[in-house]
């Protein structure tokens, strides 16, 4: 009995055990199948999902290429800086931390409010301020860290754009935004070369979304270095003199361009008022505009150089040819043209030397619409110069079909045509360079590779050049440009005074200008000066010409350009 009962119990236990192990085996099999499916077949899917939930990847700005002047002086450079972020693990602690932080750094009210909202929403990673100044970083380092705090502040290393020369050449160099994107000037024009390739940083968070580590991925590639044709020293005294004259004349603004006559390379390009590129986001857009390439205006009498070139090149006039100048009042159709100083008769060359508007209108009528239009086009007007700077305007040259019966008379003394200073210096440089229309160059080389963007087209004969150069030299010696004269150096130039349009009418608001080159017989430097809306004086010969002279005097010393002595005065050793 006992044995049999015992056997029955063992058999029952075996059955139960079998059933338990069977269910256990099936359960294990299900788990194994699930794990295989999860870790083998759906591994990439769930790994990506987990990473997306726990980690965030931020792009880091690369080191932008450095911008230099022609001699290697730094105009713009990227330096390492710290960017501050908050690891928001506890809202109350984060708010307490932020109250300390905002006392140490400069933040707008809008930015403070945005950070406050992000903390309240429980965002785990919050930028407090990108690219701290050195002073801000030092202030932050004095904050005592609470070891009991779960919320913490930390830093990510980035690059910040710095301009060691501050406002010097600001309109040429330009500036960048918070994300290192070029906003103006060379920074914008060559952004794809300068910017390089950015890196990435992965912010690692735990299951509770707390930041515990930073992992740097994708090594950044620095951008290319840019060497400009600008000479820092020339740029400095050009800006200084321009600023002085604009302030003295209580003018709205102004611009000066200095060019190498032979090559068309720009030694200096100043536009007033200046600005600090490091504060470009807070600078008025009109101030950021480079007047040298974007200022549109009627050129006035400086355009008579183009008129004279057209007349001589087309063999329409000769220097001693005499014109009746109607004693300062000339009626054409329903219009009247006046001369400031009335003349009965003037020769062709005296019309340019003494800047007679009436004489210019008569010369234009002799040339004729078609030939004069073609000459203006040949000198590059109505089209961009092609200089590698953003924001260049092309001016306005109406097609012949839109010319009225009086258009040629007004175009002859610089009205009914809209130009830019870069177009004017380029046209004057045709005479200085030996008859070539040269594309202005402002980039010398990129990362050591010489810039080959040099274009020139022959548009004038040597005989024409000699006659125009002689007339322009007399403008300075005996004509309207006498305040440009420098002892021992012949300067060839032309003054300009033009009214501005306000409300579709020309008003007594002026643009004063002077363009020229020196030494006249062997030109090294071509320069053009424009002063916008001078209040105290307004004639080009009184406002722009003296500025041209003051800059030219410094250039002669700096570039070691010495007076050309006659053979009888040469010193022989």
Among 476, 463, 474, which residue's Cα sits nearest to residue 545?
476
**Alpha-carbon gap, residue 182 to 213, rounded angstroms:** 32
Torsion of Cα atoms, 171 then 173 then 178 then 180, to 10°: 150
Q: Note the pLDDT of residue 62.
A: 77
One domain, residues 505 and 366: yes
One domain, residues 101 and 156: yes
Q: What's the distance, CA 94 to chain centroid?
A: 42
Contact 70, 231 (CB under 8 A): yes
**Alpha-carbon gap, residue 229 to 231, rounded angstroms:** 6
Among 285, 284, 220, which residue's Cα sits nearest to residue 78?
220
Query: Structure tokens of 470?
Result: 């002689």
Contact 253, 291 (CB under 8 A): yes
Neighbours of 222 (CB within 10 A): 16
Contact 297, 511 (CB under 8 A): yes
Q: Note the pLDDT of residue 206.
A: 56
Contact 172, 228 (CB under 8 A): yes
Q: Does 566 reside within a domain? A: no
Question: What does each C-alpha distance from 281 to 24, 60, 110, 160, 263 come to in angstroms?
Answer: 69, 20, 16, 14, 35
Q: Where do runs of H (alpha helix) occur along 412-537?
A: 421-432, 462-477
Q: Does 511 reside within a domain? A: yes
One domain, residues 508 and 548: yes
Contact partners, residue 81, CB within 8 Å, separation at least 6: 131, 132, 133, 137, 157, 158, 159, 160
CATH number at residue 240: 3.40.710.10
Q: Does 49 reside within a domain? A: no
Half-sphere CA count of 310, side-chain side, radius 13 A:
27
Q: Note the pLDDT of residue 144.
A: 66
One domain, residues 241 and 220: no
Beta pairing, strands 449-450 & 443-446: antiparallel
Q: Note the pLDDT of residue 205.
A: 59
Neighbours of 363 (CB within 10 A): 27
Q: Does 376 reside within a domain? A: yes
Burial of 24 (0-12, 13-18, 19+ CB in 10 A): exposed
One domain, residues 223 and 238: no
Contact partners, residue 440, CB within 8 Å, separation at least 6: 259, 264, 265, 266, 385, 386, 387, 422, 425, 426
Q: Note the pLDDT of residue 149.
A: 66
One domain, residues 180 and 257: no
Among 177, 188, 182, 149, which residue's Cα sits nearest to residue 388?
188
Contact partners, residue 11, CB within 8 Å, separation at least 6: none
One domain, residues 469 and 507: yes
One domain, residues 368 and 501: yes
Among 490, 493, 489, which residue's Cα sits nearest to residue 481?
493
Burial of 201 (0-12, 13-18, 19+ CB in 10 A): middle
Q: Does 530 reside within a domain? A: yes
One domain, residues 316 and 217: no
Q: Does 74 reside within a domain? A: yes
Relative orientation angle of helices 357-367 and 369-378, to the nearest 10 degrees:
100
Q: What is the pTM assigned to this prediction?
A: 0.82
Show the domain range for 394.
232-277+290-561
One domain, residues 205 and 77: yes
Among 180, 175, 419, 186, which residue's Cα sits nearest to residue 274?
175
CATH number at residue 69: 3.90.1310.10
**Alpha-carbon gap, residue 295 to 418, rounded angstroms:** 10
One domain, residues 205 and 258: no
- Sign of the CA dihedral with 456 first, then 462, 466, and 468 last: negative
Q: Note the pLDDT of residue 1.
A: 46
Whether the bond into 570 is cis, omega within 30 of 0 = no
One domain, residues 218 and 237: no
Tens digits of residue pLDDT in 385-403: 999 999 999 999 999 999 9
**Residue spans of the chain under pLDDT 50:** 1-7, 52-54, 568-573
State whether residue 217 is helix, strand or coil. Answer: strand
Contact 361, 332 (CB under 8 A): yes
Q: Does 188 reside within a domain? A: yes
State whether residue 497 is helix, strand or coil. Answer: strand
Among 199, 195, 200, 198, which residue's Cα sits nearest to residue 223?
195
One DSSP character per residue, 33-57 reads HHHHIIIIISHHHHHHHHHHHHEEE
Q: Does 186 reside within a domain? A: yes
Q: Note the pLDDT of residue 572.
A: 38
Contact partners, residue 312, CB within 8 Å, separation at least 6: 318, 319, 464, 467, 468
Contact 163, 276 (CB under 8 A): yes
Query: Structure tokens of 285?
Result: 């857009």
Domain count, the chain: 2
What's 316's DSSP letter? S
One DSSP character per residue, 125-168 reads EEEEESS--HHHHHHHHTSPP-TT-S-EEEEEEEEEEE-TTTTT
């Amino acid at each position: 009995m006992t044995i049999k009962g015992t056997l029955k119990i063992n058999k029952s236990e075996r059955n139960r055990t079998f059933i338990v192990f069977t269910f256990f085996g099936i359960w294990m099999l299900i788990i194994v199948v699930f794990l295989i499916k999860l870790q083998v077949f759906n591994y990439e899917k769930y790994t990506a999902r987990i990473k997306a939930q726990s980690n965030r990847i931020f792009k880091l700005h690369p080191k932008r290429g450095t911008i230099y002047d022609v001699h290697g002086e730094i105009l713009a450079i990227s330096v390492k800086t710290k960017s501050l972020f908050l690891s928001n693990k506890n809202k109350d602690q984060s708010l307490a931390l932020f109250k300390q932080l905002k006392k140490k750094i400069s933040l707008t009210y809008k930015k403070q409010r945005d950070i406050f909202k992000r903390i309240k929403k429980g965002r785990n990673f919050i930028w407090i301020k990108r690219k701290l100044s050195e002073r801000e970083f030092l202030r932050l380092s004095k904050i005592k860290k609470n070891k009991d705090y779960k919320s913490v502040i930390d830093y990510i290393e980035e690059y910040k754009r710095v301009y060691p020369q501050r406002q010097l050449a600001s309109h040429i160099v330009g500036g960048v935004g918070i994300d290192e994107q070029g906003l103006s000037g060379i920074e914008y024009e060559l952004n794809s070369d300068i910017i390089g390739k950015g890196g990435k940083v992965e912010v690692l968070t735990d299951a509770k979304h707390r930041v515990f580590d930073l992992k740097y991925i994708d090594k950044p590639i620095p951008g290319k270095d840019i060497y400009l044709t600008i000479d820092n020293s020339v740029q400095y005294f050009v800006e200084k003199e321009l600023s002085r004259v604009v302030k003295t004349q209580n003018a709205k603004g102004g611009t000066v361009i200095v060019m190498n006559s032979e090559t068309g390379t720009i030694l200096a390009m100043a536009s007033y008022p200046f600005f600090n590129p490091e504060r470009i986001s807070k600078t008025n857009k009109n101030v950021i505009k480079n007047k040298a390439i974007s200022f549109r205006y009627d050129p006035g009498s400086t355009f008579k150089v183009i008129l004279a070139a057209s007349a001589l090149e087309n063999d329409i006039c000769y220097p001693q040819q005499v014109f009746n100048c109607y004693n300062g009042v000339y009626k054409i159709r329903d219009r009247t043209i006046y001369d400031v100083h009335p003349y009965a008769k003037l020769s062709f060359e005296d019309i340019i030397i003494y800047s007679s508007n009436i004489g210019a209108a008569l010369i234009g009528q002799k040339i004729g619409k078609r030939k004069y239009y073609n000459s203006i086009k040949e000198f590059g007007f109505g089209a961009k110069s092609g200089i590698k700077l953003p924001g260049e305007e092309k001016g306005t040259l109406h097609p012949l079909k839109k010319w009225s019966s009086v258009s040629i008379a007004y175009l002859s003394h610089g009205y009914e045509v809209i130009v830019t200073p870069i177009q004017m210096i380029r046209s004057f440089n045709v005479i200085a360079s030996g008859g070539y229309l040269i594309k202005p160059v402002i980039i010398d080389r990129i990362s050591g590779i010489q810039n080959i963007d040099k274009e020139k087209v022959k548009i004038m004969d040597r005989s024409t050049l000699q006659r125009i150069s002689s007339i322009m030299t007399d403008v300075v010696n005996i004509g309207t440009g006498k305040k440009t004269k420098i002892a021992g150096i012949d300067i060839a130039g032309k003054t300009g005074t033009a009214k501005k349009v306000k409300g579709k009418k020309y008003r007594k608001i002026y643009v004063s200008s002077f363009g020229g080159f020196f030494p006249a017989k062997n030109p090294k430097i071509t320069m053009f000066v424009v002063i916008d809306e001078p209040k105290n004086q307004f004639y080009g010969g009184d406002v722009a010409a003296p500025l041209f002279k003051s800059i030219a005097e410094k250039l002669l010393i700096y570039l070691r350009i010495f007076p050309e002595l006659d053979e009888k005065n040469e010193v022989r050793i």
